[in-house]
Structure 1
Amino acid sequence: MGGLIASLGLRPLDVGSLQMAQSLEWLGLMMIGLAKNGADTWDIAMNVDIG
């Protein structure tokens, strides 16, 4: 899967288990909602720091 993502010019990131993927999916939906309704811009980013 990482090769497919890299071939699209994106940077693949291993986030761990399938449970983390579900959490990131919800965060993505939240970011879309913020960009559309709250932030008035699509120029927003999410930082994941697992330390």
Structure 2
Amino acid sequence: YSPLTVSDTEVVTVNDEGLITAKSKGKAKVLVSYTQNNFWTSDITRTDEVKILVK
């Protein structure tokens, strides 16, 4: 798995299975990078933004 970064680096930790554990309450943006295998275009690396609200 690629490392995850967040707008507030104190909000989450990530284990080797990609499980995100919150350290505090609040909002965070997590950037998730992954490689998608496509037969026609070979490997494509994508980055998605995931918004998280911890109550």
Same topology, TM > 0.5: no
TM-score, normalised via structure 2 length: 0.29
Relative contact order, CA 8 A, sep 6+: which one is greater? 2
TM-score, normalised via structure 1 length: 0.30
| Greater per-residue strand proportion | 2
